[in-house]
Amino acid sequence: MNFLLNKVIGKTDDSARHLLFCHIFFAVICVSLYANSIYNGYCLDDAMAITENSTTQKGFAGIKEHFTSDYLSGYLHYESSNAASPWRPIPLISYAIEIGVFGKNHPEYSHLINILLYTGCVLLIFYFLSSLLIKDIWLSFFATLLFAIHPIHSEVVTNIKSRDEMLCLFFMTLSLIYLFKFTYSKNKLSLVVALLTFFLALLSKENAITFLAGIPVMLYFFTNLSNKEIAKKTAWFFGVVGVYFFFRMKALPINTSSTDMEGMYIINYPFLNAVGNEVIFTKIYLLLKYLLLLCFPYPLSYDYSYNQIPYVNGFSPWVWVALLVYSGLFLYAFKTFKQKNILSFCILLFAITFSLASNLFVDIAVTIGERLLFLPSLFFCIAIAYLGFLLVKKLEKLIPLKKTVSVLLLIVPVVILCSFEIINRNKDWKDTDTLNLADYPKASNSIRVNDGVANYYLSQSEKKNITLQQRDSLMKKAMFHYEKALQLFPEFDKDLINMGVCYNRLGNIIKAEEYWDRLREINPAHPKLVDYDKFLANRYLIQGIRTNQEKKYDSSLIYLTKAAKYATANDSVTANANYHLAGMLYATGKYQEAQNALAKVLQIQPNNKTAQLGYQSCEAIIRSAQSKKP
């Protein structure tokens, strides 16, 4: 380590060997930090992109389809893709290739590829900073080191689905490398590679488009090009974006009939319930939360959705703290812009690359997402490394310490703490259940996390090797979390269904019916209601027959009435429910209602002799009663 620090801090002899050593060092760091994630399985949105994506599951055969459909079409099975949907064929194609090569259900290969891709991103960043952009080996080394060990990146690396973030940064960094090579050498092949890799970055994730603003800022700060020359070079990238939108429009036409399967749910539209100025003030407050996560990435959580971070208004002091902090940063950036101050550069590039994820300009259906800081965090790390550089200079004047010792005192604790957190966080991403249980203490007011924890307990209660007492205990834990989610989101159809399932398994059919009827009020056409109505009809029919045999006629009538209510299909259950109900109604003198029930029986079983006789008997009694009226 001393050798490395001595080299980094100023001794430039044998620089080629030094650069090679740095690259090896970063490769070892990245692989070491994330090696234990190889043992993880699929988690969360991996289902959406891989395991439950019918197009990805085709392997090589699905590659062409990924180019011509949106990101979710293989999962949600749209009739057609929507132009407003994400179009990210490159990451989906990478999953399809993995399945084609290794077969299905091999997450270990996907995790290994993610680790290697992250390592590639870090190596490219170091090369770009040290050789082409900053050209300060000390600053480049520590900026890259901070990026490599930042715990905020654990979600991107350990969640296979988030490969789109890494692919975007990987291709974007390659594009910048070749753009700067073209700037220095005028080699047209470098320009071609820069434009091609920029196009691949766009195909990986849309936020690469922010570099249309980032590229001219980079060229201004780190080259001597005139404004006209900068504009010319940037124009090439505008051309690539034009080509990208041309192919995007071909793949995802505007006039489509695709539907949002999830609907306008608060779980997917976090500002849906915000009133008045709560929307803008909450978004401003979230910017402060993002900055705090970059500075103090603990504790980490995969979900910050409603209502983990409550809405705030203009009376919240944190809103004004956020405004003061960001206003101060931008004021400093613009004040030092002409001096090409490196902190000014970092502030502007952070703002540019974070603009789409900030929710200020486009609602992205996410309150806070740690993965969304992946690209912007690079410029945060450069700024922190630069501030560290200034701090070391001040320490040299105040304390009689060697520069190497000062650097070690600053960086070693950070490396140790960050490494410890990353390695432990990787374990949380083992699978969806493990992640939900790990994050519940940190996100106990999140609808999504409560739903995930409840699903875990419900699935555990279905195991065969547990006692009845254990099953009931697990069921009650599941119900606690389902109910907590429903308190936050009363229209959550999945949890209404599962609450009914839990109550039914605990023997409380009345409460089960109550939750399923709540679902009926919200969405009468919900497809699950067909199955649950059939189930309720069966249960109430059996109870109605049993209570009738026990001569509990009032109870029997109630149960049979419910059985007939839920029996809507033209099958034997409907016929039997209405037949038995007709018998009870007949016995209580309700002949018209009994005849109506028998009519339903005869619609299904027209040759039912008993029903025919009962219908005729009701008809005769009704006519006789009518003839006696004055």
DSSP characters over 397-459: HHS---HHHHHHHHHHHHHHHHHHHHHHHHHHTTSHHHHHHHHGGG-TT-HHHHHHHHHHHHH
Distance of CA 461 to the CA centre of its chain: 27
The angle, 0 to 180 degrees and rounded to 10, between the axes of the packed helices 447-461 and 493-505 is: 30
**Alpha-carbon dihedral sign for residues 481, 484, 488, 489:** positive
Q: What would the mean pLDDT of 248-257 be, rounded to a whole number?
A: 71
Residues 6+ apart with CB under 8 A from 215: 176, 179, 233, 234, 237
**Alpha-carbon dihedral sign for residues 119, 123, 125, 126:** positive
On the 0-12 / 13-18 / 19+ scale of CB atoms within 10 A, 497 is buried
Tokens 């009133």 belong to 275
pLDDT at 431 over 60: yes
On the 0-12 / 13-18 / 19+ scale of CB atoms within 10 A, 225 is middle
What is the SS3 assignment for 365? Answer: coil
What is the SS3 assignment for 546? Answer: helix
Indicate the average pLDDT of the chain: 90
pLDDT of residue 216: 97
Are the beta carbons of 598 and 585 closer than 8 angstroms?
Answer: no
pLDDT of residue 5: 38
pLDDT-derived band at 1 (thresholds 50, 70, 90) equals very low
pLDDT-derived band at 84 (thresholds 50, 70, 90) equals low
Around Cβ 613, how many Cβ atoms within 10 Å?
A: 11
On the 0-12 / 13-18 / 19+ scale of CB atoms within 10 A, 353 is buried
Are the beta carbons of 618 and 594 closer than 8 angstroms?
Answer: yes
Closest CA to 221 of 294, 129, 147, 142: 129
Q: Which domains are delineated in the chain?
A: 278-426 (no CATH), 446-526 (1.25.40.10), 532-627 (1.25.40.10)
Q: What is the tens place of the pLDDT at every residue in 469-491?
A: 999 999 999 999 999 999 999 99
Query: What is each CA distance from 166 to 7, 31, 65, 308, 372, in whole angstroms?
Result: 30, 15, 22, 27, 11
337: enclosing H helix or E strand: none
The type of residue at 471 is R
Closest CA to 447 of 496, 389, 403, 410: 496
Q: What would the mean pLDDT of 7-31 be, rounded to a whole number?
A: 74
Closest CA to 159 of 303, 268, 279: 303
- What CA–CA distance (Å, rounded) separates 474 from 482? 12
Which of 3-12, 94-103, 530-539, 606-615 has the highest mean predicted lDDT (pLDDT)?
94-103
Are the beta carbons of 440 and 449 closer than 8 angstroms?
Answer: yes
- What CA–CA distance (Å, rounded) separates 218 from 233? 12
Query: What is each CA distance from 160 to 89, 118, 207, 418, in whole angstroms?
Result: 15, 12, 19, 21
Closest CA to 91 of 123, 39, 53: 53
pLDDT-derived band at 83 (thresholds 50, 70, 90) equals low
Are the beta carbons of 500 and 532 closer than 8 angstroms?
Answer: yes
Structure-block tokens of residue 457: 């307990």
pLDDT at 406 over 90: no
Around Cβ 184, how many Cβ atoms within 10 Å?
A: 11
Q: What is the DSSP string of 185-237?
A: H--HHHHHHHHHHHHHHHHH-GGGGGHHHHHHHHHHHHS---HHHHHHHHHHH
What is the chain's length? 630
- What CA–CA distance (Å, rounded) separates 382 from 143? 5
pLDDT of residue 254: 62
Q: What is the tens place of the pLDDT at every residue in 523-559?
A: 999 989 988 988 998 888 888 889 888 888 888 888 8
pLDDT at 187 over 80: yes
Which of 128-137, 420-429, 617-626 has the highest mean predicted lDDT (pLDDT)?
420-429
Q: What is the tens place of the pLDDT at every residue in 29-82?
A: 999 999 999 999 999 999 999 999 999 999 999 999 999 888 888 888 765 455
pLDDT-derived band at 569 (thresholds 50, 70, 90) equals confident
Tokens 């409560």 belong to 450
pLDDT at 229 over 90: yes
Residues 6+ apart with CB under 8 A from 217: 345, 348, 349, 352
- What CA–CA distance (Å, rounded) separates 313 from 317? 9
Closest CA to 395 of 417, 411, 381, 419: 411
Higher pLDDT, 353 or 465: 353
The CA-based diameter of the chain, rounded to the nearest angstrom, is: 121
pLDDT of residue 429: 97
3-state helix, strand, coil in the chain (%, to 5): 75, 0, 25
pLDDT of residue 618: 87
Terminal CA-CA length for the chain = 111
pLDDT at 605 over 70: yes
Task: Average the pLDDT over each of 242-246, 410-414, 567-571 and give the range with the smallest value.
Answer: 567-571
Around Cβ 82, how many Cβ atoms within 10 Å?
A: 20
